[in-house]
Chain A
Amino acid sequence: MNSIITHSPALLIAIPLFAAFITPLLSRIHRRARDGFVLIVLAATELLALLLAQDIYANGIRKYVFGATLPSLTHPGTMSIPVRIIFEIDGLSIFMVLISLTIAFVATVYSSSFFKKEDGLDRYYTLLLLVTVGMVGMELTGDLFNFFVFLEITSIASCALIAFWVDRGESLEAAFKYIVISSIGALFVLMAIGFLYGQYDALNIAALANSIQFTFIDKVALVLLLAALTMKAGIAPMHMWLPDAYGEAPPSVTIAVVAATQASLYGVLRVCFTLYGKGLRLNMAAVGWTLVGLGLLTIFIGVTMALVQRSLTRTIAFAAVGEIGYMVIGAGTALAAGAQNFATVALKGGVFHIFNDVLDIGLLFLVAGAIIYATKERDLNNLGGLAKRMKYTTVFFLIGLLAVAGMPPLNGFASKILIYESTYQLNPIISIIAILSSILLLAIFVKIFYSLFLGPELPHLRDVKEVPKGMLVAMAILATLIIIFGLFPGYVLQTIVDPAVAALSNPTNYINAILGGA
């Protein structure tokens, strides 16, 4: 048991990666065998992550040095800086890993009954597992170059997944946009890594964070990293790829890509709070205000654009853009506030909202997918009166819409109230815009709910049936989590969010775990 936990950082990557290349072989036997295998693997990985999480909450940061004679041997021989690839897992990393693996599991459950006749499904599962590997790797790694490698794995695999429906021109366009944005972003990241490596001869995040001097080149590198990662996280004004990618991919892919987007957001947090963490109390206020500004813009653009869409998936996609803004505002407020005590509250709200957003938006996308599956329609004008035919789906959509709009007692409220509270202390206008946008979101989704589910039955939707069990189970998992998080926000905050926030606000712990308190 103990040795499993010791090796679990590596296993979290290795098991899905191994499974990714077994699936094409298994699908030669039978497609059920393949689906079941992927499910079991992801469930096992999730269990492993939970075990690791428990250990981290009890004993603090865990590290894993690849290829060393001991998993904790960070400085082999007489080396003064860590040279091997090191995974370093603190509260924030494991929080994000839990999100990614939960979403990957839900996506697999959903796709096992969503896809029936499509070919290329063996590659679909390979790519889905590779996206999972990429996200988890980005979140676990303590090495900046390794982060770049996993970022690339995630981008390329998600690009191929977005283009899964190759016969639709829109999917191809979305995938092309995505790969262009991703490649540009990846080059930015690589260049920034080059700048940092050239100055400090290190790639390890902890070692870099320890020796960072805030020279001009460091600031250029910070701007490059933030530009690339916010672009990949879909923050305005670089959000244009996101509605396409979210709206045109199969829904099970969309929620995996949503989780991958959050992994980029994790990169933003890690860069601001750990890599440049020494300046946390000094000169990051400008960065904080920039993030707040971008966040407000993101919310505004997302919500107003959601208002005018006619396609169901694109509406949700723009709402997803808006939701990302809330997390960025939370993180930005924490940076801008510096040492003031509402900084922690803002960060708590922002970090908690990452999980809530994935659940809420994910549920809405799955419902949208269910509607497309049942009716073969995407246009809101051609849909209506589905409540009688699709009872469960209606309930799930209702839960999702209330959660996204931040209505109590669902989870969206729990994190948004923390963001409103803290941003109000920074500047009342921020929280006013945030609240108004949230109300607007509610209005949009209530309108959609009405036009989708209520009203008279449409003649061409007479023989619509409820979707298969696998899809309902996937939606039910997300809805249950939404309700649990909404009813017991205090418990959730204490168990998983607080360690994540503590990890962000104390970069010294992260540095000392590798460099040994020197």
Chain B
Amino acid sequence: MDETSKIIKTVSSVMFPFVTIYGLYVILHGHLTPGGGFQGGAIVASGCALLVVAFGSDAIAKRVKESQLSLLESIGALGFISLAFVGIATTFFYNSLAGTKFLFGRIPPYGSNPGYLSSGGLLPLMNLAVGTKVIAGLFAIVLILAIATRKKGGRSK
């Protein structure tokens, strides 16, 4: 397969920020709406996959190194476990931010309400950590698969 057409490249470039923002929205609102770190991360990674398809794995691999992605992945995982350790004075995974005046500490009122972004304590932060890991992990998988299939003579037809 040769270069993709200009139409594909342009549309992908236009779509990419929207997909990314939508994915980040799903990650950040994980404690309020369906979705969360994994789902949002998968959406962002699918945006990255779009770029890999449109511009070819070589062009992407020049900008993003696989080792950078795995570093990001480790940081995401470590962030998640560190956040679980935050509450270790009470119990592991204890949500010590909830109900404080600090970040994400708001307690939503009883009754039906749309919920508040600044509630949930550690949960949004954990969603962010999971999201980071999933974006990096899935993007790395897509990228490696793309590079590996190209090397094996994916160009022949």
- Residues of chain B with a CB closer than 8 A to A20's CB: 77
In the bound complex, CA of A67 to CA of B87 (Å): 8
Q: Are A24 and B70 in contact (CB under 8 A)?
A: yes
Count of residues in B whose CB is under 8 Å from the partner chain = 17
Please give, as numbers and ranges, the residues of chain B lying within 8 Å of A22 by CB-CB distance: 74, 78
Bound complex: CA A65 to CA B74 (Å):
27
Tell yes or no: A491 within 8 A of B by CB.
no
Is A25 a contact of B71 with CB atoms below 8 Å? yes
Within the assembled complex, what's the spacing in Å between the Cα atoms of A334 and B14? 67
Residue of B nearest to A69 (CB): B90
Flag if B81 contacts A21 (CB, 8 Å).
yes
16 interchain pairs, CB-CB under 8 A: A7-B91, A17-B81, A18-B82, A21-B74, A21-B77, A21-B81, A22-B74, A24-B70, A25-B74, A64-B92, A66-B93, A68-B90, A68-B94, A69-B90, A70-B90, A70-B91
Which of B77, B84, B91, B92 makes the CB contact (< 8 A) with A69?
B91
Interface residues of A: mostly helix, strand, loop or mixed? helix
B13 interface residue (CB < 8 Å to A):
no
Q: Are B87 and A18 in contact (CB under 8 A)?
A: no
Closest to B122 in A: A67
Complex contact A18–B78 (CB within 8 A)? yes
Q: Is the interface of B mostly helix, strand, loop or mixed?
A: helix
Interface digits, B57-68 against A, CB 8 Å rule (1 contact, 0 not)? 000000000000
Chain B residues near A66 (CB-CB < 8 A): 91-93
Assess whether A10 is interfacial by the CB under 8 Å rule: yes
Q: Determine the chain A residues whose CB is within 8 A of the CB of B87 once the complex forms.
A: 67
What is B's interface to A at a CB cutoff of 8 Å? Answer: 70-71, 74, 77-78, 81-82, 84-85, 87-88, 90-95
Interface residues of A, CB < 8 Å — how many?
19
- Which of B70, B81, B85 has the most chain A CB within a 10 Å cutoff? B81
A122 to chain B: closest residue by CB: B70
Find the A residue at minimum CB distance from B88: A7
Known: A64-B91, A66-B93. A21 touches B78 (CB 8 A): yes
Is the C-beta of A71 less than 8 angstroms from some C-beta in chain B? yes
**B16 to nearest A CB, angstroms?**
28
Q: Give every chain A residue within 8 A of B93 (Cβ-Cβ).
A: 10, 66-67
A123 nearest CB neighbor, chain B only: B70
Query: What is the CB-to-nearest-CB distance from A132 to chain B, in angstroms, rounded to a whole number?
Result: 15
| Closest Cβ–Cβ distance, residue B22 to chain A (whole Å) | 28
**Whole-angstrom CA separation of A219 from B85 in the bound complex:** 40
Min CB gap A453→B, angstroms: 43
Please determine whether B81 and A7 come into contact, CB atoms closer than 8 angstroms: no
A14 interface contact, C-beta 8 A = yes
Instruction: Tell me whether B81 and A67 are in contact (CB under 8 A).
Output: no
Per-position binary interface string of chain A over residues 115-130, scored 1 when its CB falls under 8 Å from any chain B CB and 0 otherwise: 0000000000000000
A14–B74 contact, CB under 8 A? no
Q: Which residues of A contact B81 (CB under 8 A)?
A: 14, 17-18, 21
A265 to B75 CA separation, bound complex (whole angstroms): 35
Instruction: Report the minimum CB–CB distance from A318 to chain B (whole Å).
Output: 35
In angstroms, Cα B118 to Cα A347, docked, is 54
Q: Please give me the residue from chain B that is nearest to A9 by CB atom.
A: B92
Bound complex: CA A69 to CA B90 (Å): 6
A7-51, CB < 8 A from B? 7, 10-11, 14, 17-18, 20-22, 24-25
Chain A residues within an 8 Å CB radius of B88: 7, 10
Docked CA distance A44–B100 (Å):
34
Kindly provide the distance from the CB of B145 to the nearest chain A CB, expressed in whole angstroms. 15
State A68–B94 Cα separation when bound (angstroms): 6
Closest chain A residue to B92 by CB distance? A10
Instruction: List chain B residues, Cβ under 8 A from A11.
Output: 92
> Nearest chain B CB to A33's CB is how many angstroms away?
15
8 Å CB interface, A61-106 against B? 64-71
Closest B residue to A24 by CB, please name it. Answer: B74
Residues of chain A contacted by B95 (CB below 8 angstroms) = 67
Find chain B residues with CB under 8 A from A14 CB. Answer: 81, 84-85, 92
